[in-house]
Structure 1
Amino acid sequence: MPSATTLRSLLALLTLAASATFALSPPPPPVKPPPPIAPPMPRFIVPDAGQPLTLQRVQVQATLAGAQAQTRLELVVRNPNPRQLEATLEFPLDAGQSVVGFALDIRGEMVAAVPVPKDKGRQVFDDISRRRVDPALLERTAGNNFKLRIYPVPPNGERRVMLQLAETLQPNAHGRLQYRLPLNFGQPMAQFEGRFDLRGGTRILPAGALAGVETFARGDQTSMQLQRRDWQPREALALSWAGSGGDNVVVQEHLGQVYAYAELAAAEGARGPARLPRELNLVWDASGSGAERDHARELALLDALFSAARDVRVHLTVARDAAEQERVFDVRGGDWQALRRTLQQLPYDGASSPATWYAGLAAAPSGSGTMSLLFSDGLATWPDLGGQPPAGPVFTVNAASRADLPRLRRLAETSGARLLDLTRMDTASAFTALTRPGLQVVDVKGDGVEGIEDVVIESLHPENGRLAIAARLTVVTGRLLVTLTDGQGRRSQRRIELRAPTESPASDEATLPLAARRWAELRVAELSAEQQRNRAQIRRLGEQFRLLSAETSLIVLDELADYVRYEIVPPTAAMRATYQQMLAQRGASRQADRERHVDGLVQRFKQREAWWAKTFPLEAPPVAEARPTAPLPPVAPAPVRPSIAVPSQAAKAAADVARPAPIAPPPAPAEMRMAAPPAPAPAMASMAAPALESVAVTGSRRAREEDAGTAASPAAASIALRAWEPNAAYVRRLREASDGERYAVYLDERPGYLSSTAFFIDAAEIFFAKGQQALALRVLSNLAEMELENRHILRILAYRLLQADQVALAVPLLERVRELAPDEPQSSRDLALALAPTQPQRAVDLLWDVASRPWDGRFADIDLIALTELNALAARTPRLNLSRVDARLRRNLPLDLRAVLTWDADNTDIDLWVTDPDGEKAYYAHRLTRQGGAMSRDFTGGYGPEEFSLRRAKPGRYEVRAQFYGHNQQLVSPYTTLMLWLSTGFGTAAQKDERSVLRLSGRGDQVLVGSFEVEAPAAGASK
């Protein structure tokens, strides 16, 4: 929240923002509320397991006091498979719930997690699990969704994990506090033990899965115990009791800082007259995640509104990745059946962008008698290309357990309206809040308290009769002064007395007092409404207060050396002393490492210059060395290794079949030699392969300027890409459907493939091919909603958008990938290449970062590839600032032909093969061909790129293939998606590019991706 002064200025305007702009009407008849929303259940995801993991034991210990709940949840997971696995537990939390800690058993001892920046947490988890040791990572994905990753769960063995949850409970309409804990994991728990201790409550009522459980009272504490075997509760474990009412104020000290937290009983009091619309701007989020909303509750609210308003003109905008054209409905006498049917029949498909909400709200009329409503879960998964919130009040309505409430609350409250959270409000309460203004906060300040640094409010409006306010203080006594206004504009003030803390500070710095935790949680929630702008503040608060947030995660590591290696402060004081000593020794060598890396890059670049300057023969090989004309068998797939699926070069070479004597290439220069390389593969032209399209195909094609002094013009050449033709059953239906029916066919098939990236890519490809681009983009955008913050999926989605020339959409996705995985050089390289046409200076800077930084050894040659691309871009773009680039590395090396292969899966080995007109193949084990075709070093650990370069191309046909050798991933799609970038005249003004996105189905799979066709020079011409 802004400073107190800014808060006062902002809030003073809110009561005026929605002044008498509505028609007056009597209240509606009572509306029967729909049943409660069923919370989504937690679930284990281990797609590569032959048998599902089982829950051997679940223990719950809940301590309930006043409106605060602390829950300790311990899970013992068993792996019945004969190999170790990675397990992922995904679970949502209700509003007000938070994770305050977790621990993992390591060698029989529970080790507590520590906070870490989110991108580093993911990097460390992947790096350490790649080394087969024990990390665990807990992340917040989007909204109130969480993901816990554990590795390894040993073969035929168990792992134990503990989660600690904290919650501020909300009273219902009858003033009763309610506690709920859903435990339906989709499978039985072999053993369940639960204990629930409640202090100070009266009229206690166990409900749900706790219904009928015997209670035991001792003093002011009531306890319940529950034990079950082979138990799968269909309902949440629930309790409700009568709260004490009144205000609750806590002042506590934490690490030398004083915090205050207050919950004020705030009855609504006098409300204003009913304000019912004559015109309604209705924006309905119909993105894929919208299917999870409780539409019965949403329609019940609209039913109440139209029953009261009677005659309303409704301007409906359906919003997904793009806003659909506005539709107008006239409601007469409360009859809104035509609109209701339209809403009930909407398909929920595609991603969601705030820009589409704003466009819909701005497009409809505004002014007297107009109300604006946005129905959405607030989860924004699609790039926001510059949309601006509307000027007038916008009521936001949420009916989803998975939601981004801070975003929805900020949009509503800064516009002068409010959030209607139907997961915590019944229909009658929501209707009243919508149509009759009530109590709200207009100012908070210190009265006789100097130095209040920061005040945060959960909501400007009472929620279930309570207001939550937290403050960070520089003094320990005094008061807060809260100014409110009721629905009739009358002001009142509430004074909160702040007394010095009576409790001693916690001796354990990891124990976070309630007041400090609530201040940090409310502040992070406030900042999260504009996450991109506030990323650094969110990260700092998450690390300081050990909170899960959009920018911080919690991680457990196995050894002290890992904490030192990744510069993560360990959990105990005993470990920290040694950690500081080891860290000081390690820090001094960083700059030296980078300098050594650049020096090594200079030496490899000199070798590339020597290759580029060398003249290779272009004439046909001697007759004696010509290949036989008999057909040759195809290359056999690599054998499956028993422990690691990614084969070594030796294993891959052994997989090649016996072949006739190959063309003998000339001795390779030192820079390209390999020790005892195997013979090159047989001529690929002789292998059975699908036919290529005969001419240039869809894709981006740009000619770029080149600075003076570049080498001679490249050979005249064209590129042909293979049309991707998947063979899934749904493809024929989509391809054969008429343009008018194709989307209906897609929607009919969609429910069976909700978790399949292949389905959405295939379907989008058909819509693109049929010229239905808007639908193609909608279908493709589903990838952004499939698994929140999955960088692999976002990367391949961006690749396909680049292929479709949707650079404006691709760039924000690649920016997000770079935020999620800054440790992977591909993240910066991909973004640089996308930015090159419009922001060449930033592209050059990003490419230099890739080239100049030392990376993990599995990213072979990516520095040299990025340097090649940097120099080519600089040669085509005058007046770039290259001062950061080492002068020894500034030279453009133009090429006739270039092919670069990347893919979406980590720990995966895919190879690029290029066969020249002589039938000679360049590949990982034969990196230099007779005519000078050079292949980069083999990428066996994920993503690529692998690069083929040829300075001078002889006339003829060059075929480009990809071979899937294997992967070593636990969590991997059955398909691996590839992106191939083919260029002619690379680094010259005549450069032409074609991109292709396709996929391989599994180990041993091979695909012909495309070809170059180099024309013979005209008579008398010379190169």
Structure 2
Amino acid sequence: MLQQTVGRMAGRMMAVMLALCCVAGAARAAAAPQIMTTIGGERPLRLQNLDIDGSVSGGMALTRVRMVFFNPNQRALEGRLQFPLLPGQRITAFALDVEGQLRPAVPVEKAKGRQIVEQLERRRVDPALLEQTQGNNFQLRVYPIAAQGTRTVELTYAEPLEREGANWAYRLPLAYGEVARGLNLRLQLNGADAAPQASGTLAELAFARRAGGYEAQIVKEHVSLDGTLKLLLPASAAPRSFVQQFDGATYFMAEVPLPPLPPAASRGARVLPKVVGLLWDSSGSGANRANAAELVELERYFKALGNGEVRLRWDRSYPKDFFYQPPPKGGVANEPSDGMPPPPPPRPLAHPVPMPAPIMAPSWQREKVIVAGSRVAQGDLAYGALAPAGPAGPAAESAVVAATNVLQRAESKSSTPGTGEIGVSLQKWRADAPYIARLQAAGTDRLYAIYLDERPSYTNSSAFFLDVADLLFERGQRELALRVLSNLAEMDLENRQVLRILGYRLMQAGAPELAIGVFEKVRELAEEEPQSFRDLGLAHAAADHPQQAVDQLYEVVLRPWDQRFAEIELIALAEMNAIVANAPRKAALDTSRIDPRLLKNMPLDLRAVLSWDADNSDMDLWVTDPNGERCFYGKRFSYQGGRMSLDFTGGYGPEEFSLRHAKPGKYRIEANFYGSTQQLVAAATTLQLRLSSGFGSGAAQDKLITLRLKGRGETVLVGEFEVKPK
């Protein structure tokens, strides 16, 4: 009966998937994916040459991988290299070719490394950033890869080898796909007494005796690589020591074999339990796992178990603690698929070292990254930390003075808006992607099934998941819509732009508690951007957490920001005061740390705020009043008192239109894609518009909409305010 149950379970759980990593007993995976990707290129980047040097000394190994990538397109592109490592492998060095020579990188704190790279990119300097994302996966950003040109990347990683019986096991991942010109692989086994046993990819390697060990080399032209090369090296039964000189320091390692464990028979066989709990993670992140191999392992275990009870939990909402900690009251539900139980948390890494380490030295912590740039003096990399928030310091005082001036100008006008009833309507927005017609034609009961059928073709498209979620919300399928949105959390790990899209759409869906956890992750990733604090503050406000909202928005008011975020503190100040003025008395807000000069509410009849997800992009907010007068970046003040905030040309926004007294009539709200200087060409930019009537008063009403603009010059009508006469 148990075997029948397992058979039914296997039938329900089986899906066609690609294996991303090696699992014991797995069938041979499909063709290896492209490791260097880009967006917007007509043809994919090609791996032109692959040069691998491996050195094994006792139970330690050091591997250097040099890759030459070719851009066959007619324009320069940014490339993103996804470089997964096996458990225990640690990056110790990274170099990038700059003006024809490999330039070694230096390790810096992860957040600061990304800030440095983005600042250099805005200055048109060509840096590279290697960072660890989640688990043991590394991502490398390289710009530019010139049209019809090449870039060379060199990575070095070290690892302690695992024992398999009397042998050390060395594994070399080779899932590089097509290598256009050729492969050059060299392996050196220091101190080896016998040739190793080779299996897997390139197992035809022939090892020859050399002084102090064994060596092998293989050269191939136009080769397709996949899988892993495995070497079993006889371990020495006697103690050994190894010494290495590196950067003026001497490192040593001693290996002392331990006596073998007693035979399993003498220890006694482990008694298998008769009740087994099986948690099956059916989220979308499991779609690339070796599902068939997992079922084989389960079948083996159940056969050994014999008769017993299996309690299966098909879990679609297991909290992914390896991605981010969900808020206390819940987290984003994960997308169903045939997956596998969650992995254990990653093992902590060794202590950091100031420079790329040799084979015997430890690697830096997970929070470190390595940055390489061109024409950059060492001083450029000494990037200072953000100043602590607080009233002390010239930057904070300057912000207070500027904000006070705005408040005084507002006080000089009539104190309370007085208008008739205000209606807010949103223009229905619909994408024109190929899958839309099929999804729209499906009945409500079939919509989710059609989505699952289309999903494999759009797993890397945030637009696809947003469009499907919109349709599900329209059909009243809220839980399914939230589940579909959760795919964005795992699309591109640690991509703050994608996470912002997810947070904005959760806010639009009336799920601020879920958005809080997402925006907390964004703040962790991008503390140098004021939008990270503002978005989190507004999410707390929507979730009725006024104290947390005020605290986050006040950070925007006082912290020193890059000049490209000019006057964002004024927008956050207005939002903070609106929350303070309308917080329920029982909330007992603590505003003692706020400069009293800044505590002044500024109610408005109409307010429109535009934000977007793309850095280095310029979106514009247009508002046309009943007189036909358009307020925008080129005409920031209207005849009847409308005001447009400063033009945001460097990414994210917000841009704000405010009107204290609105005359009767209709006000058209439009969004325009002015331009972009992004180096990574994106398919579309996602915008969020918040339209508010009665802002800052107890009768305030907000409506949010998320939409996308595809290219420069595109303009869309977002919605309208209709002000009725008294």
- Aligned residue in 2 for 1:87: 79
How far 1:556 sits from its partner (Å)? 2.0
- Aligned residue in 1 for 2:572: 866
- Aligned residue in 2 for 1:794: 499
- Maintained 8 Å contact 1:609/1:893: no
- Give distance in 2, aligned partners of 1:614 and 1:231: 75
- Maintained 8 Å contact 1:799/1:997: yes
Match of 2:679 among 970, 975, 978: 970
- Give distance in 2, aligned partners of 1:262 and 1:850: 57
Letter in 2 for 1:1013: E
- Maintained 8 Å contact 2:500/2:522: yes
Query: Is 2:695 aligned against 1:850?
Result: no
Query: Is 2:173 aligned against 1:182?
Result: yes
How far 1:941 sits from its partner (Å)? 1.5
Q: Cα–Cα, structure 1 residues 382 and 781, in superposed 2: closer, same or farther, change >3 Å?
A: farther
Letter in 2 for 1:567: A
Letter in 1 for 2:688: M
Letter in 1 for 2:453: D
- Aligned residue in 1 for 2:13: none
- Maintained 8 Å contact 2:62/2:359: no
Superimposed CA distance per residue, residues 520-575 of structure 1 (whole angstroms, 9 cap, x where no aligned partner): xxxxxxxxxxxxxxxxxxxxxxxxxx5251x22122233554x434525xxxxxxx
Match of 1:928 among 637, 641, 645: 637
- Maintained 8 Å contact 1:143/1:404: no
SS of the residue corresponding to residue 296 of structure 1 reads helix
- Give distance in 1, aligned partners of 2:621 and 2:256: 63
Unaligned residue ranges in structure 2 (runs of 5+) = 1-23, 332-338
- Maintained 8 Å contact 1:817/1:827: yes
- Maintained 8 Å contact 1:383/1:812: yes
- Maintained 8 Å contact 2:417/2:661: no
Match of 1:353 among 304, 314, 319: 319
Q: Cα–Cα, structure 1 residues 815 and 39, in superposed 2: closer, same or farther, change >3 Å?
A: farther
Superimposed CA distance per residue, residues 906-960 of structure 1 (whole angstroms, 9 cap, x where no aligned partner): 1111111111111211111111111111111111121110000000011111111
- Give distance in 1, aligned partners of 2:505 and 2:113: 28
Query: Is 2:406 aligned against 1:406?
Result: no
Superimposed CA distance per residue, residues 552-603 of structure 1 (whole angstroms, 9 cap, x where no aligned partner): 2122233554x434525xxxxxxxxxxxxxx9xx999999995156426624
- Aligned residue in 1 for 2:698: 989
Match of 2:719 among 1010, 1016, 1019: 1010
Unaligned residue ranges in structure 1 (runs of 5+) = 1-31, 323-351, 355-377, 389-397, 410-455, 459-469, 473-507, 518-545, 569-582, 616-709, 1018-1023
- Maintained 8 Å contact 2:40/2:681: yes
Match of 1:281 among 277, 281, 303: 277
- Aligned residue in 2 for 1:364: none
Query: Is 2:665 aligned against 1:953?
Result: no
- Give distance in 2, aligned partners of 1:126 and 1:132: 10
SS of the residue corresponding to residue 131 of structure 2 reads strand
- Give distance in 2, aligned partners of 1:387 and 1:876: 27
- Give distance in 2, aligned partners of 1:170 and 1:41: 27
Q: Cα–Cα, structure 1 residues 94 and 600, in superposed 2: closer, same or farther, change >3 Å?
A: closer
How far 1:514 sits from its partner (Å)? 6.0
- Give distance in 2, aligned partners of 1:188 and 1:720: 55
Q: Cα–Cα, structure 1 residues 384 and 165, in superposed 2: closer, same or farther, change >3 Å?
A: same
How far 1:208 sits from its partner (Å)? 3.9
Match of 1:169 among 142, 156, 161: 161
How far 1:1013 sits from its partner (Å)? 1.4
Letter in 2 for 1:564: G
- Aligned residue in 2 for 1:116: 108
SS of the residue corresponding to residue 439 of structure 2 reads helix
Superimposed CA distance per residue, residues 736-776 of structure 1 (whole angstroms, 9 cap, x where no aligned partner): 32332221111111111111111101111111111111111
How far 1:780 sits from its partner (Å)? 0.9
How far 1:723 sits from its partner (Å)? 2.4
- Maintained 8 Å contact 2:606/2:692: yes
Superimposed CA distance per residue, residues 807-834 of structure 1 (whole angstroms, 9 cap, x where no aligned partner): 2211011000000011111011100111
- Aligned residue in 2 for 1:764: 469
- Aligned residue in 2 for 1:57: 49
Q: Structure 2 matches for 1:115-154, cutoff 5 A?
A: 115-154=107-146
Q: Cα–Cα, structure 1 residues 553 and 386, in superposed 2: closer, same or farther, change >3 Å?
A: farther
- Aligned residue in 2 for 1:911: 620
- Aligned residue in 2 for 1:217: 209
- Aligned residue in 2 for 1:567: 382
- Maintained 8 Å contact 2:57/2:242: no
- Give distance in 2, aligned partners of 1:265 and 1:838: 62
- Maintained 8 Å contact 2:431/2:467: yes
- Maintained 8 Å contact 1:899/1:980: yes
Superimposed CA distance per residue, residues 587-630 of structure 1 (whole angstroms, 9 cap, x where no aligned partner): 99999995156426624652464256447xxxxxxxxxxxxxxx
- Aligned residue in 2 for 1:685: none
How far 1:128 sits from its partner (Å)? 0.8
Match of 1:510 among 355, 361, 373: 355
Q: Cα–Cα, structure 1 residues 559 and 591, in superposed 2: closer, same or farther, change >3 Å?
A: farther
- Give distance in 2, aligned partners of 1:844 and 1:592: 16
Q: Cα–Cα, structure 1 residues 53 and 749, in superposed 2: closer, same or farther, change >3 Å?
A: closer
SS of the residue corresponding to residue 662 of structure 2 reads coil
- Give distance in 2, aligned partners of 1:510 and 1:566: 14
Query: Is 2:264 aligned against 1:558?
Result: no
- Maintained 8 Å contact 1:261/1:515: no
- Maintained 8 Å contact 1:850/1:866: yes
Q: Structure 2 matches for 1:610-689, cutoff 5 A?
A: 610=409, 613-614=412-413
- Aligned residue in 1 for 2:436: 731
Q: Percent identity?
A: 43
Query: Is 2:184 aligned against 1:193?
Result: yes
Q: Cα–Cα, structure 1 residues 600 and 311, in superposed 2: closer, same or farther, change >3 Å?
A: closer
- Aligned residue in 2 for 1:475: none
- Maintained 8 Å contact 1:896/1:986: yes
- Maintained 8 Å contact 1:280/1:313: yes
SS of the residue corresponding to residue 810 of structure 1 reads helix
Match of 2:545 among 821, 831, 839: 839
Q: Cα–Cα, structure 1 residues 589 and 247, in superposed 2: closer, same or farther, change >3 Å?
A: closer
How far 1:1011 sits from its partner (Å)? 1.3
- Aligned residue in 2 for 1:825: 530
- Maintained 8 Å contact 2:37/2:80: yes
Q: Cα–Cα, structure 1 residues 827 and 160, in superposed 2: closer, same or farther, change >3 Å?
A: same
- Give distance in 1, aligned partners of 2:387 and 2:476: 58
Q: Over aligned residue pairs, what C-alpha RMSD do you find?
A: 3.6
Q: Structure 2 matches for 1:368-379, cutoff 5 A?
A: 379=322
Q: Cα–Cα, structure 1 residues 292 and 382, in superposed 2: closer, same or farther, change >3 Å?
A: farther
SS of the residue corresponding to residue 196 of structure 2 reads strand
- Aligned residue in 1 for 2:10: none
